[in-house]
Structure 1
Amino acid sequence: MSSPHYNTRWTEQLGTRPVRIANCSGYKADPGYHMFLQAELGDVDFITGDYLAEVNIAENAEAYAKGQHPGWEETAWDGIQQTLDILNEKRIRVIVNGGAQNPKGLAEKIQQLARENHSYVLGDNLIEEMRDIRMNGLPPHLDSDNSEVQYDALTLDLFEKSDKPVVSANVYLGAREILRGLQEGADIIVAGRVADASPVIGAAWFWHGWEETDYDHLAGGLIAGHLIECSGYVTGSNFAGFTEYPLEDLYDITYGIAEVERDGSCVITKHDAKKGFVTEDIVKCQFLYELQGNVYLHSDVKAILDDVQVKGEGKNRVRVWGIKGRPPPPTTKLAIFYRAGYQSEILVNATGYGTAEKFELYESMLRFGLKRLNIADKFDILEFQRIGVPESNPQSQLRSTTYLRIFAEASDPAVNLGLASLLGEFAMQHYSGFHLSSNQAAAIPKPYLSYYPAIWRQENLKTSINLLDISAAEDNATHTTSIPTTPPPKFESLDKRKSYETYNSVDLNAFGPTMKARLGDILLARSGDKGSNANIGFFIPTSLPSSYKPLISSQEPSPLYAESWDWLRSFLTINTLKTMFADSWEPSYFIERVEFPKIYAVHFVVYGVLGRGVSGSSRLDAFAKGMGDWLRDCVVDVPIKFLEGRGRDVKGGGATNGRTNESGVLRL
């Protein structure tokens, strides 16, 4: 329901109430109607959109340079087109990074559609500075300050090999340009590679009139942006506890809104219309997504997360506070993408009896063929990955079938073609029951981009906000006023990242009898990628399973909540995580561990587990999206009282996921 005070011109209300900032996109795939819904379904002051993942700003770089691509994201333009009338009617301002490689072009296109006050941000694109890194030098790696980290063997390829040209190089800008644009009256601001949360920080900064040294406030705005930047991730998508909700309520959802207070604290909410949820557990999951540890870095501020608190305030309203701020680091992140070579992927299936031996035979045969072609040692990466385990006493052929994923990267496409040729050469020499997946086009080598995460000194940036002048636009010419912006007034060098085991650990025997159960029966988790590294956060759920909701309010934590935290922090050590990784653990990986005690969460960063990361990673789950759920499925010794407290069936000798069968008994 609309509130009358939002229908007045909102500029009269600056700083008099929390600012309502809605997000409409977390990736280029989000269609434009999400911007329209955020404007149409209720009252907001700003709509922000994050259209850029690590790689998609690079995907069209060469085509844009050749004049074959506009350089900006079509879905951002689609959203503006659909929403322009209602934006004007409600006086909603828009800040998006959908300009990608060409924010100027998108802003001018919008200007042709609407003669309003628009602007665009420049200064993130450093492709000219990176044209010849072999002469000028390679910027430091993002993890260069961590002596414990071992880089992937191919990390320095773009510097050491002459056939790896850089195609894009963009720094992650802060909110200073956005702030200046709003101060100059811009209704729509188009940016390229600003940090994901920068549009939200800029909106809150402008609304509340913060000083550039109000670090606690800016840090709160940073985390508000972090919470809503990923489409529906804060309203029910990518949520580890989804099994406790009706499945039909978890799609066709609306996205999040942050109500940011003057002190930087916020309430995460959504429009009442349409589907989705905002709960304590959903917000905690998103908070733990893609963290770097207990300090969240941004160009304008460092957010100190140790004392973060999350508490529900009613239906679809969750308050987040306790964030502290410090001056920003002198450097910002620089994402460099380069043409790394060619990738191929082959999938072969095996069914039932002797699956392990079948895959061993096929790998041996292909390696023999590669050696005979004199290309066995020509690959940058060649991995034979066994995906899945056939069901014991299978109830169907599909449940008995798994596949071997053969993943190859090489600088020379002829090497990949040699691998593909073996599919024909050995077509009639194979294991019992051999069959291919239907589409083997991926076996043909395709060029790919790889990623080098670097750092760049903020003082060396040349940034600006560029205002399109509507007063002079009647002659159909583009009139632009460019205003240079300056770096933050103060920097603070980075300290060594915190990593520690729990303080005052509790003897695990003190929690009583245990039974074998999956970690996910009592914990939720969220994982994600930070370049070549993965982050994983585990926490004690606040709400009880859906089967318990008629008995105990889901808004109230279980009586065992605090005691479960003592167990989690004592149990989940660095060595325990290594043990859970099992066959996936490599000695080259390095782990950092911290805790967020006020939300009962343990957080890890696993360095090096994603190879070069992003499009250069050989992992099936290259963005570590599924890592948390894999680890939640590990069977460990769990105190029985915690399983009972979560409504799990302990009489049958196994724990469950909260769904019921026809008899009402909880089952797997």
Structure 2
Amino acid sequence: MRRQAELGDVDFITGDYLAEMNLADNADAYAAGKHDGFERTAWDGIVQSIDVISQKRIKVIINGGGLNPKGLALKTLALIQERGFNLKVAFVSGDDLLPYVKSNLSAYGRPPDHLEHGNEQANLPRLTDALLDTTSKPVVSANAYLGARAIVKGLERGADIVICGRVADASPVIGAAWWWYSWSETDYDQLAGAFIAGHLIECSAYVTGGNFSGFTDFDLESLIDVGYPIAEIEHDGTCIVTKPPGTRGMVIVDTVKCQFLYELQGDAYLNSDVKALLHDVQIEQVGVDRVKLSGITGRPPPPTTKLAIFYKAGYQSQVLVNATGYGTDRKWELQEKQVRHSLKKAGVLDKFDVLDFQVVGTPEPNPSTQLRSTTYLRIFAQADDPRILTMPARAFLEYGMQHFSDMRTAYPTPYLAFYPALYPQNDLDESINILSPGGSIATIPAGHPSYYEPFGKRNNYDTLSPRALTDFGPTHRVPLGDVALARSGDKGPNVNFGIFVRTEMAWEWLRSFMSRAKMQDLVGKDWREEYRLERVEFPKIFAVHFVLYGMLDRGVSSSKSLDCLGKGFADFIRDKWVDVPVCFLEERSKV
């Protein structure tokens, strides 16, 4: 934060401190008085930066208030008074719906509608309704994703620092631009542009070189401690992404495309204030470390917002077993049979919510070292009773002299499960709270959107006019990543995946090649019958985007996947060997 304040020519510093899990992770400790409730790194940033913020009159909007935005706001006000600065502080309230969810479960015995309610392209994961067992699986947090309305009202009343809890990731940026340009709530194209500008910079260094699939083309030293991004938002909602001069990393078309495609919901992206339509997005380099994004249009927001519910789902454990070299596949087959036999004999095989045997890695052919010949078996388990979860390790020891492997194990630990729900926007009690130097608080309701538009059916299609793949000439079998970049991430129980090429001719091939059937084929043995697949195109940036429904189970901390946030999925697909036209490989070698 301090580096952005010192180096960046900025009017606002915005900060997104909250992943899905933050609030739930701290909920029990906060309730017991053992945690401040807010994100401590947010407080660190304010302490380190407050003098520069005051001197340069930079406004600050962050969601680091977490479970306790009021507490962080009061602490910030005390710091300001101690330093003698003239800054006004406000905080946003209304996202905490834990009492509502608990009473709803108690009174009606049903949770709010799931986020995918009405989406015919999604099957709800197994165990989705486990939170109905409120005795053994109590809900610990329930927070609605708020929009920018309260932020705007705070800025209108002179706030210099606005502390939020669970506002949507892009809401601080939307609020800043909305207030700066005095937009109307129905200036949907402008709001949608600011929404996507916020989407580009909310993951900080992800748009300036972090988690970038094209990193192999760059000196690794340039990717250490990279600069954080700046979004220059224009009155029409278009934006230029840049970063402070002299900082490491890069802002190029490819990094911006990667971040644009990250965690999308297809070609329509939802926020509490606006629905952004993305099909015609354009991304172009307009200078050194300067990339312009345009072509976004907007529609009225949906009548519901996301409600993130976390509950204590029981316990989970993993046993890691390693084996080396020749015949490893058969070794793991034998190991699984031995463990299952032992668990069945002990009468607990059917007591697990999840029991999954996952082979991690492949031995290198003709290995150069023993480590390159070694792989792991990951035995992942979840159950209500932690004693049950000690049994896989015991099973391993029971047959300790009958197999080929060595064990490293973890003890059972509690885990939280995620239930993404829908909540009516008109029922939100969203407010801005202005602090006065004397300690009084003025609370102003944020209101609600004046008009909603139901979302409707999601777009899902293969390309309308595919070219015959033979049209592109002779091919060579190489990893798909040799000609295409990509980004992936999680959306609750789903994986999203965007892949793109650099030229129009390569785009003709990619859109014809990357069909839904081909995507399922590339997923290979990881594909399950219950999964669903959604596909759209972004022709002006040469990209295809997929949502793979159900790949992360219930998502986040309750997923059995080793890649529980879906971030590695893109390079898994890029590592697949496919028949690529030779002309594109020659073209790529010249870049």
Which TM-score band applies after superposition, normalised by the shorter structure? over 0.9
User: C-alpha separation between the residues in 1 aligned to 2:122 and 2:144?
Assistant: 23
TM-score, with structure 2 as normaliser: 0.97
Q: Residue 160 of structure 2 corresponds to which residue in structure 1?
A: 187
Cα offset, 1:354, TM superposition: 1.0
- Secondary structure at the aligned position of 2:564 is classed as coil
Structure 1 residue runs without a partner (length 5+): 1-34, 542-560, 649-657, 659-668
Q: Residue 244 of structure 1 corresponds to which residue in structure 2?
A: 217
Does the CA-based 8 Å contact 1:174-1:300 persist in structure 2? Answer: yes
Alignment length, in residue pairs? 584
Of 512-521 and 332-341, deviating more is: 512-521
Cα offset, 1:426, TM superposition: 3.1
Matched letter for residue 49 of structure 2: T
Matched letter for residue 90 of structure 1: K
Q: Residue 202 of structure 1 corresponds to which residue in structure 2?
A: 175
The 5-angstrom pairing of residues 107-256 of structure 1 reads 107-115=73-81, 116-132=87-103, 133-136=105-108, 137-160=110-133, 162-256=135-229
User: C-alpha separation between the residues in 2 aligned to 1:206 and 1:148?
Assistant: 38
Cα offset, 1:419, TM superposition: 2.5
User: C-alpha separation between the residues in 2 aligned to 1:602 and 1:419?
Assistant: 42
Q: Residue 485 of structure 1 corresponds to which residue in structure 2?
A: 446
User: C-alpha separation between the residues in 2 aligned to 1:190 and 1:359?
Assistant: 51
- Secondary structure at the aligned position of 1:128 is classed as helix
Does the CA-based 8 Å contact 1:70-1:102 persist in structure 2? Answer: yes
User: C-alpha separation between the residues in 1 aligned to 2:152 and 2:584?
Assistant: 48
Cα offset, 1:164, TM superposition: 1.1
Q: Residue 574 of structure 1 corresponds to which residue in structure 2?
A: 516
Q: Are residue 268 (structure 1) and residue 241 (structure 2) matched?
A: yes
Match of 1:90 among 56, 66, 73: 56
Cα offset, 1:160, TM superposition: 4.9
- Secondary structure at the aligned position of 1:333 is classed as strand
Matched letter for residue 517 of structure 1: V
Cα offset, 1:109, TM superposition: 0.5
Matched letter for residue 194 of structure 2: G
Matched letter for residue 175 of structure 2: G
Q: Are residue 62 (structure 1) and residue 28 (structure 2) matched?
A: yes
Q: Residue 13 of structure 1 corresponds to which residue in structure 2?
A: none
Q: Residue 537 of structure 2 corresponds to which residue in structure 1?
A: 595
Cα offset, 1:424, TM superposition: 3.5
Of 253-262 and 131-140, deviating more is: 131-140
User: C-alpha separation between the residues in 1 aligned to 2:54 and 2:399?
Assistant: 65
Cα offset, 1:435, TM superposition: 1.9
Does the CA-based 8 Å contact 1:134-1:160 persist in structure 2? Answer: no
Q: Are residue 619 (structure 1) and residue 590 (structure 2) matched?
A: no
Does the CA-based 8 Å contact 2:319-2:392 persist in structure 1? Answer: no
Q: Identity of aligned pairs, percent?
A: 55
User: C-alpha separation between the residues in 2 aligned to 1:567 and 1:415?
Assistant: 52
User: C-alpha separation between the residues in 1 aligned to 2:80 and 2:177?
Assistant: 25
User: C-alpha separation between the residues in 2 aligned to 1:417 and 1:513?
Assistant: 56
Q: Residue 496 of structure 1 corresponds to which residue in structure 2?
A: 457
Does the CA-based 8 Å contact 2:121-2:533 persist in structure 1? Answer: no
Match of 1:305 among 272, 278, 293: 278
Q: Are residue 99 (structure 1) and residue 100 (structure 2) matched?
A: no
Does the CA-based 8 Å contact 2:480-2:578 persist in structure 1? Answer: yes
Match of 1:435 among 403, 406, 414: 406
Matched letter for residue 635 of structure 1: W
Q: Residue 29 of structure 1 corresponds to which residue in structure 2?
A: none
Does the CA-based 8 Å contact 1:539-1:601 persist in structure 2? Answer: yes
Q: Residue 506 of structure 1 corresponds to which residue in structure 2?
A: 467
User: C-alpha separation between the residues in 2 aligned to 1:80 and 1:412?
Assistant: 43
Q: Residue 16 of structure 1 corresponds to which residue in structure 2?
A: none
User: C-alpha separation between the residues in 2 aligned to 1:231 and 1:268?
Assistant: 11
Q: Residue 252 of structure 2 corresponds to which residue in structure 1?
A: 279
Does the CA-based 8 Å contact 1:41-1:273 persist in structure 2? Answer: no
- Secondary structure at the aligned position of 1:592 is classed as strand
The 5-angstrom pairing of residues 368-447 of structure 1 reads 368-431=341-404, 434-437=405-408, 440=409, 442=410, 444-447=411-414
User: C-alpha separation between the residues in 1 aligned to 2:257 and 2:510?
Assistant: 16
User: C-alpha separation between the residues in 2 aligned to 1:287 and 1:147?
Assistant: 25
User: C-alpha separation between the residues in 1 aligned to 2:575 and 2:120?
Assistant: 32
Task: Provide, for residues 287-317 of structure 1, a one-character-per-residue CA deviation record: whole Å limited to 9, x for no partner.
Answer: 0000000001000000000000000011000
Q: Are residue 564 (structure 1) and residue 506 (structure 2) matched?
A: yes
The 5-angstrom pairing of residues 550-561 of structure 1 reads 561=503
- Secondary structure at the aligned position of 2:101 is classed as coil
User: C-alpha separation between the residues in 1 aligned to 2:428 and 2:11?
Assistant: 30
Does the CA-based 8 Å contact 1:340-1:448 persist in structure 2? Answer: yes
Task: Provide, for residues 369-407 of structure 1, a one-character-per-residue CA deviation record: whole Å limited to 9, x for no partner.
Answer: 111211000000000000111001001101101100000
User: C-alpha separation between the residues in 2 aligned to 1:281 and 1:147?
Assistant: 33
Task: Provide, for residues 53-84 of structure 1, a one-character-per-residue CA deviation record: whole Å limited to 9, x for no partner.
Answer: 00111101011111111100000000000000
Q: Residue 311 of structure 2 corresponds to which residue in structure 1?
A: 338
User: C-alpha separation between the residues in 2 aligned to 1:197 and 1:161?
Assistant: 33
Does the CA-based 8 Å contact 2:338-2:395 persist in structure 1? Answer: no
Structure 2 residue runs without a partner (length 5+): 82-86
- Secondary structure at the aligned position of 1:377 is classed as helix
The 5-angstrom pairing of residues 629-640 of structure 1 reads 629-640=571-582
Does the CA-based 8 Å contact 1:310-1:320 persist in structure 2? Answer: yes
Matched letter for residue 459 of structure 1: N
Stretches (4+) displaced over 4 A: none
Cα offset, 1:171, TM superposition: 0.4
Cα offset, 1:427, TM superposition: 3.2
- Secondary structure at the aligned position of 1:106 is classed as helix
Does the CA-based 8 Å contact 1:240-1:525 persist in structure 2? Answer: yes
User: C-alpha separation between the residues in 2 aligned to 1:376 and 1:626?
Assistant: 31
Of 356-365 and 199-208, deviating more is: 356-365
Match of 1:459 among 421, 426, 450: 426
User: C-alpha separation between the residues in 2 aligned to 1:158 and 1:374?
Assistant: 26
User: C-alpha separation between the residues in 1 aligned to 2:462 and 2:395?
Assistant: 50
User: C-alpha separation between the residues in 2 aligned to 1:409 and 1:601?
Assistant: 38
- Secondary structure at the aligned position of 2:350 is classed as coil
Task: Provide, for residues 22-44 of structure 1, a one-character-per-residue CA deviation record: whole Å limited to 9, x for no partner.
Answer: xxxxxxxxxxxxx0000011311
Cα offset, 1:135, TM superposition: 2.5
Does the CA-based 8 Å contact 2:8-2:243 persist in structure 1? Answer: no
Does the CA-based 8 Å contact 2:493-2:554 persist in structure 1? Answer: yes
User: C-alpha separation between the residues in 2 aligned to 1:400 and 1:448?
Assistant: 33
Of 132-141 and 364-373, deviating more is: 132-141
Does the CA-based 8 Å contact 2:94-2:429 persist in structure 1? Answer: yes
Cα offset, 1:429, TM superposition: 3.2
Residues 430, 138 of structure 1: CA spacing in aligned structure 2 closer, same or farther, 3 A cutoff? same
User: C-alpha separation between the residues in 1 aligned to 2:564 and 2:359?
Assistant: 16
Matched letter for residue 41 of structure 1: L
- Secondary structure at the aligned position of 1:60 is classed as helix
Does the CA-based 8 Å contact 1:451-1:615 persist in structure 2? Answer: yes
Matched letter for residue 79 of structure 1: G
Does the CA-based 8 Å contact 1:591-1:606 persist in structure 2? Answer: yes
Does the CA-based 8 Å contact 1:174-1:298 persist in structure 2? Answer: yes
Cα offset, 1:134, TM superposition: 4.2
Cα offset, 1:463, TM superposition: 1.0
Matched letter for residue 314 of structure 2: G
TM-score, with structure 1 as normaliser: 0.86
Matched letter for residue 529 of structure 1: D
User: C-alpha separation between the residues in 2 aligned to 1:364 and 1:319?
Assistant: 56
User: C-alpha separation between the residues in 2 aligned to 1:290 and 1:419?
Assistant: 35
Task: Provide, for residues 615-643 of structure 1, a one-character-per-residue CA deviation record: whole Å limited to 9, x for no partner.
Answer: 00000001110101000111111111011
User: C-alpha separation between the residues in 2 aligned to 1:452 and 1:159?
Assistant: 11
- Secondary structure at the aligned position of 2:235 is classed as coil
User: C-alpha separation between the residues in 1 aligned to 2:143 and 2:428?
Assistant: 11
